[in-house]
Amino acid sequence: MTARHHQITVNGLAIHARIHGTGHPLLLHSGIFSRMDDWAPLLDHLDGFEVITYDAPGIGDSAPPPGPMSMRALAAVGTGVLDRLGIGTAHVLGASFGGAVAQQMARDCPDRVGRLVLASTSFGGLAMPGHPAALLGLAARANGRGPATPRAVMFRMSALIGWTSAHWLHRIPHPTLVLCGDDDRVTPLVNHRVIANRIPSARLHVAPGEGHLMLLESPHVAGPVISAFLHAAGEVRAA
């Protein structure tokens, strides 16, 4: 997909965003240390959508925040990206840490979200933790691609402290696809079952043999499932 680059200011922060393709808007929230470039393998499987990607504060070409940001503040960055690009309502996809941001955005600004995709993610506190070796492996994979300083790393991770969606998942009204691999050792399958059971209009899709990074490592598996779910939306529901 040909990308249109945008350097925008959101809540006082310089944010680098891109728009790929044409169609109904689809906003992507990245993993904790992921850059928007990491979405490249999936983009070819999202035909028919105007896909909006962005580097989160302190990641890639977006400015670091002056201090720690809450999950609510990070979700507001996503909403602000839509505002600055002149987009009212978008489907929203969040992967891993970005899935938490997507949940928060759906909770705080339900009228800005059409359909919701939560992939390889968690509901925060009280969720089953990942295997330590898998978590270390994920951190090693991000080495050199995440925030530039240890301070920036802590600012990024601070949003998870005390955060959970467990007590308000049942208030998310959007049609929701919960997508995971059955070999996800970072955010285990049981967490996805809880999310899918708690959101009233959610359905769970489990991909056999896939792990935490299935959207990026097996886009041919994840992409068609996501695309079919979003294309089935018809008219975007009013929240």
pLDDT tens by residue, 16-64: 999 999 999 999 999 999 999 999 999 999 999 999 999 999 999 999 9
Tell me, what's the pLDDT at 144? Answer: 59
| Neighbour-count burial for 111-143, b at 16+ CB within 10 Å, e otherwise | ebbbbbbbbbbbbbeebeebeeebeebbeeebe
Output the domain CATH number for residue 170.
3.40.50.1820
Which DSSP category does 233 fall into? T
CA-closest candidate to residue 227, choices 126, 91, 135: 91
Helix (H) and strand (E) counts for the chain? 8, 8
Which DSSP category does 163 fall into? -
Inside any domain, residue 236: no
Cα–Cα dist 237/85, whole Å: 21
Inside any domain, residue 85: yes
Contacts of 136 (CB under 8 A, 6+ apart): none
Q: At which residue do the structure tokens 């922060």 appear?
A: 13
Inside any domain, residue 238: no
pTM of the model: 0.94
Tell me, what's the pLDDT at 145? Answer: 66
Inside any domain, residue 87: yes
Tell me, what's the pLDDT at 1? Answer: 57
Inside any domain, residue 209: yes
Inside any domain, residue 198: yes
Full residue range of the structural domain in which residue 24 is found: 3-231
Q: At which residue do the structure tokens 């035909």 appear?
A: 47
Given a cut of 60, is residue 70 above it in pLDDT? yes
Given a cut of 70, is residue 110 above it in pLDDT? yes
Q: Count up the domains in the chain and report the number.
A: 1
Give the tens place of pLDDT for each residue, 121-175: 999 999 999 998 987 887 777 665 667 678 888 999 999 999 999 999 999 999 9
Residues acting as catalytic residues? 96
Given a cut of 60, is residue 238 above it in pLDDT? no
